[in-house]
Amino acid sequence: MPIVKNVSRAVSQLLQSSGCGCGISIVPVRCIGVSPRQVASDASFHSVSFSESDHPRVLITGGLGQLGVGLAKLLRKRFGKNNVILSDIRKPADHVFHSGPFIYSDILDYKNLREIVVNNRITWLFHYSALLSAVGEANVPLARAVNITGLHNVLDIAAEHNLRLFVPSTIGAFGPTSPRDPTPDLCIQRPRTIYGVSKVHAELMGEYYHYRYGLDFRCLRYPGIISADSQPGGGTTDYAVQIFHDAIKTGKFQCNLKPDTRLPMMYIDDCLKATLEVMEAPAEALTMRTYNISAMSFTPEELAQEVQKHIPELQVTYNVDEVRQAIADSWPMNFDDSNARRDWGWKHDYDLPEQEIQELLHVSKLQAGVVAILV
């Protein structure tokens, strides 16, 4: 594992806060699915192109999630505040609204999304709108609409307007018949959650649009993402959120997964870095459209033991949630991300040894809602 770098600086930055374009030309496409506006097969469109020295014009859908806000902050530093637009169907917090451009956007409203892309001359699109694993199982029709129908709208618009499109995938895209330790980029998947099924669908549709229409589609399979800025978000790995809250507030923690349930995890700074790196990577360097990325892997018991080094009086018990445990048992224990490391130089910076635990506990004493795992 690489030596951990600048942990204190990264946490401090989180507390203080709340690439070039695609040169591939495409043939006009006819929109499919439920998109309300059909594109004529003989239509022609003006595709925005720009040189290496120009900045992309970025739209982030589902932007009020932890990853969207963090990514916007990173991209605005790199490309300029006004070149990165957050969008969502929710009202943003004041600090988010005043940090840069924000637009209301419903990904199920094809016409509205298309107008945003055209009116703002968007060239890069990051599609973060999705229902996560546990929430998706509780509302399958909504997850199907947001995760699949919304994706179809984004794919059609991205192909029509020659955008560079990023859609995140997940460890949840694998299933119980997948190899788990390690899990390679290419293997049988067969997930058993609507979240996982929708992400496999996204991976395959993105690859199809790339080969059929020339769409510059890029995708990373995220592990659990450890953040210092948000509350649990309905993911199977939320145990790693709650332990920090409970350790500080009550000194007692009840885990809903078995103590030996190993899952891959990643610090948010690494996640955002990987996302930007794969978007900026030269097209000729990419040998596939979807890559695994990985950093660390741990179990609830291992995490609890690290926390107890700093809070020895923490009492840990286990009350297994059968639904979440079944989901976790079908997911990878470790990712093989050798292709990402070879093709575009992916390298993580952060592990989760004692120093990081100490920093996260310190942050949790300063603000309510310290660590979130998004998957």
CA–CA distance, 97 with 111 (Å, rounded to integer)? 24
- Alpha-carbon distances, residue 335 vs 221, 222, 266 (angstroms): 9, 10, 11
CA distances from 314 to 56, 141, 209, 357 (A): 48, 40, 51, 14
> How much of the chain is in helix, strand and coil states, percent to nearest 5?
40, 15, 45
* Residue that the structure tokens 């290419």 belong to: 186
CB 151 within 8 A of CB 199: no
Q: Is 350 a catalytic residue?
A: no
Quick one: tokens of 124?
Answer: 């890069």
| Backbone dihedral angles phi then psi of residue 129, each to the nearest 5 degrees | -65, 120
Report how far apart, in Å, the C-alpha atoms of 117 and of each of 48, 107, 289 are: 11, 12, 23
Nearest of 150, 153, 158, 155 to residue 123 by alpha carbon: 158
Catalytic residue (choose from 110, 128, 195, 239): 195
Contacts of residue 344, Cβ cutoff 8 Å, sequence gap at least 6:
277, 278, 281, 285, 286
C-beta separation of 240 from 256 below 8 A:
no
Please give the helix or strand (H or E) that residue 73 lies within, else none: helix 66-79
Please report the DSSP string for 155-201 in residue order: HHHHHHTT-EEE--EEGGG--TTS--SSBPSSS----SSHHHHHHHH
Active site residues: 195
